[in-house]
Amino acid sequence: MDKKDTLIVMCSPNLRLVSAKRAVGSLKATDLRRAELILLDNCYDKGFSHPIILNKMLKIAVRRHKNVIFLDDDIEVYDYHWIDRLYDVSTKLNASVIGCVNIFEDGEINNAGHFVDSDGVYESMCDFMHDHIDIFNNAVYVPTVCSAVMLVKNCDSFYFDTRYLKETHDLDLCIQAWYTGKRVACALDLKIVHHHSYVAQNNPDYNSVYYHDCSHFSKKWSDFLPYLLNVPQLKQYKRYGQRQTWTHYYFRATRMKLIDKQRAIEMFTRITTDCYNERTRANAYYHLYQIEGNHTLLEQCLQANPCHKTAAEQLVRLTGAEYRPLSNCKYKFNCKRCHLKKL
């Protein structure tokens, strides 16, 4: 059996762009032993169609009995075992399409999948509060994932709709999965940097392309989308809304400290267990320390966010141990903009 069971496909208008070079460079520093990397440079061809070329890649994968990981050219991957993690989620959740959490270069979450309502309008999920029972091995089922990083298995079951210009063909493929009884999942503990906003701002045609593709997506799936959230794995999203976010829950917990400390402990503990935002998780550990006084909670706070200055200072006062937050940082964020330092 060929040990290289995966094709990694990245398309770019110009592989010499700084963003593309950073993307390829980050990939080369990870474990690619099971993959073949295919880089496609369209040289700013105005007739280039992203869905058409991705369809060709699907067909090649089928002929060669391989799976495909599609990547955008404005991403950076810093998890050495990222490919194995995608496959691990696929196995544990029996999913055919797998993505991960997209973050900006300062660490703030861009999206962890996309929510799609019955009218076909979709929006990024960056703070949705999943119930513990809906999290499996640090992964969850989601309506759709972004093709910035997208593993597709069972390639002969899917196609990219060539009527899309650029923006929504990845969501379309995910809806195909749910429509045919397959599953889509997101790894909450795998994060990749995605510079999408910068690319969109520099594309004068972005808005017209975006609205064209949104319109086609909504019309195409108008009969199925009202029933999408009836799929057993997606019923949790029926309560999707601003009040079902970790941010909202965190602020409720901080107020609960003044009302019912035991309830606050339960709420903060849930955040430390299930929330995939490091900053929110670290702050929850610090609140637990303030309630319980256990200094090991400060250590856990700093494991989640090595730059939590208040926790570091308090730990030094309690233990006398020297602590240097920046020297212990395990993230690749730009310190000048890092969201972990906004305390």
CA 332, 336, 342, 343 dihedral sign is positive
Q: Please name the residue ranges forming H helices in 194-308.
A: 196-201, 206-220, 225-228, 246-256, 261-274, 278-292, 296-304
How do beta strands 149-152 and 97-103 pair?
Answer: antiparallel
For position 1, what pLDDT does the model report?
43
Q: What percent of the chain has pLDDT over 70?
A: 93
pLDDT score, position 300 = 94
Q: What value does the mean pLDDT of the chain take?
A: 90
pLDDT, mean of residues 264-285: 95
Report whether pLDDT(263) > 70: yes
Query: Other CB atoms closer than 10 Å to residue 174's CB: what's the count?
Result: 27
pLDDT at residue 198 greater than cutoff 80: no
Residue in this structure with the two tokens 């309502």, named with its chain if needed: 117
Check pLDDT > 80 for residue 2: no
**DSSP line for 118-174:** TTS-EEE-SSB---GGG-BTTEEE-SB--TTEEEE-SGGG----TT--SSSHHHHHH
- Would you place residue 316 in the very low, low, confident or very high pLDDT band (cuts 50, 70, 90)? confident
- For 66-80, the pLDDT digits (tens) are 999 999 999 999 999
Instruction: Work out the average pLDDT over 186-201.
Output: 81
Residue 12 CA from chain centroid, whole number: 21
Per-residue pLDDT at 5 exceeds 80: yes
pLDDT digits (tens, 9 = 90+) for 207-243: 788 889 999 999 999 999 999 999 999 999 999 987 8
Task: Give residue 167's pLDDT band: very low, low, confident or very high (50, 70, 90).
Answer: confident
* Cα separation, 341 vs 193, whole angstroms: 18
Whether 196 has a pLDDT exceeding 80, the answer reads no
Residue 340 pLDDT: 83
Q: 71 pairs with which residues across the strands?
A: 10, 149
Confidence of residue 320 (pLDDT cuts 50, 70, 90): confident
Q: Which of 192-196, 284-288, 314-318 has the highest mean pLDDT?
A: 284-288
Residue 201 has pLDDT above 80, yes or no: no
Split at pLDDT 50, 70, 90, the class of 204 is low
Range scoring the smallest mean pLDDT among 44-53, 164-173, 193-202, 264-273: 193-202
Percentage above 90 pLDDT, the chain? 72
- Of 59-63, 135-139, 336-340, the range with the lowest mean pLDDT is 336-340
pLDDT per position as a tens digit, 82-139: 999 999 999 999 999 999 999 988 889 999 999 999 999 899 999 999 999 999 999 9
pLDDT(203) > 90: no
For the stretch 24-36, pLDDT in tens is 999 999 999 999 9
C-alpha–C-alpha distance, residues 187 and 301, integer Å: 22
